[in-house]
Amino acid sequence: MKLKELYQEIILDHGKNPRNLRKTDNYNKDAKGHNPLCGDNVHIYLKLNENKKVEDISFEGSGCAISMASASIMTDLVKGKEEKEVKEIVLDFLDMIKEKEGLENKILNDDEKTKLMCLSGVKQYPMRVKCATLSWHTLTSAINDFQNITNTEN
């Protein structure tokens, strides 16, 4: 199977059957995000434990397949990670989507990186980049206790 087809398949799978599409019980951080250009909405719920580890993360929302797949893959990958690792993964992902060839963090294993690289296909479509990055910016807002709605146009 070609890499492009594999990427497509993973996105379709996550878009159709999003993981962690629910509301975390007893979450202690959350944030909402909106992408007006496409109409994507996401609400991220995060539960950090006393060691600043992501005990649980989930999301609710609606939008296009890319935005849902991105939130699904993101929540899957950051669960169980420490807060500072999550921040590093987020920055690495955003750099990759914007300009870098690949991912550079040492936190994710190769399988996990492959899942993230699926989203690299949107790089050539600036409108779709916002769909792919919405949940990531919103996760950053949640971690930083930023209460306003995260808007991809601001």
User: Binding of Zn ion at residue 131 (CB under 5 A)?
Assistant: yes
The dihedrals phi and psi of 25, each to the nearest 5 degrees, come to -70, 140
Q: How far is the CB of 64 from Zn ion (least distance, A)?
A: 3
Q: Which of 21, 38, 91, 107 binds Zn ion (CB under 5 A)?
A: 38
Contact (CB, 8 A) for 35 and 128: no
Residue 40 binds to Zn ion (criterion: CB under 5 A): yes
Tell me if 27 sits within 8 A of 145, measured CB to CB: no
Region near Zn ion per CB under 5 A, out of 9-17, 62-70, 79-87, 98-106: 62-70
Options 24, 58, 67, 150; binder of Zn ion; rule CB under 5 A: 67
Q: Which of 147, 129, 141 is nearest to 67 (CA)?
A: 129
Q: What is residue 53's three-state secondary structure?
A: strand
Question: Residues 107-126: x/- map of binding to Zn ion (CB under 5 A)?
Answer: --------------------
Read off the DSSP letter of residue 149.
P
**Do 67 and 135 form a contact (C-beta atoms < 8 A)?**
yes
Q: Which of 21, 64, 91, 94 binds Zn ion (CB under 5 A)?
A: 64
Residues binding Zn ion (CB under 5 A)? 38, 40, 63-64, 67, 131
